[in-house]
Amino acid sequence: MISNNELKYYSSLLNKKYRKIENKFLIEGKKNVEEGLDSNYDCEKVFITRKFEETNPELIKKIRISKVQFEVLKSVEFQRISDTKAPQGIAAVLKNKSSVFSSSLIKDKVLVYLEDISDPGNLGTIIRNCDWFGINNILLSKESAEMYNPKVLRASMGSIFHLNVFEDITLKKITQLKISGYAFICSDTEGKDVFDFKLNDKIILFLSNESKGPSQELLSITDHKITIPRKGNADSLNVASASAIILAALTK
């Protein structure tokens, strides 16, 4: 039986401050937990409700075989570690994976840099889109949402475990990539039609906060600006939606 202190400890991981201190994070939902168990992240513990245990025998068998610790919680106890109004009844605690960015190790044809993508739902969706289009490395500015935010994890639908995400990457840190041949491509309303853009051998795609647009610092190092042509009257596209369209064009 789980103690109140243990519940308090694990529920603290819903807070960014304690995720940083403990180097752990919570994931929730059947798909996310399955993806986490199959990844190279270390899983400390799995929590399930009795109802989930009774209705998901195959996954419970998989957890038992993996020898990961798991504990059955009452619904009211599970709610304390849940970030959703209608939890599925399964969550897991994983240890952060330390990903150290080194420009010399990057060999991909297309990289994605996210500047000030502060909305967790947008970030999670972009991560999922990148996974779909075969992007292996994503770079986040300091102003972007935290990758282990519960809303980011939920929106990524497990894709967070399929690629590398590097946090707190300044524009200065990636200047070496330009020297090594990467073209810096920035999404901007004043850019060239992305469907007419001729792809360089290696590019970094920069996506920015949809309301603020790209920073002057970013624009000053940009080689090319691209945009999605507008046909209607909307002021802008949601950055997550835009990312899917642009990546489809650049990775075809």
Pairing of strands 43-49, 70-73: parallel
pLDDT at 198: 85
Of residues 251, 252, 205, 203, the one with CA closest to residue 227: 205
pTM: 0.94
* CA distance linking residue 204 with residue 191, whole number of Å: 15
- Judge contact between 81 and 11, C-beta under 8 A: yes
**136 pLDDT higher than 80:** yes
| Angle, CA of 236, 241 and 244, to the nearest 5° | 130
Interval 66-101: pLDDT, tens:
889 999 999 999 999 999 999 999 999 999 987 788
Of residues 32, 125, 43, the one with CA closest to residue 82: 32
Half-sphere exposure of 210 (CA within 13 A, CB side): 13
Domains, the chain, in order of start with CATH, read 4-95 (3.30.1330.30), 103-250 (3.40.1280.10)
Q: Assign 202 a pLDDT band (cuts: 50, 70, 90).
A: very high
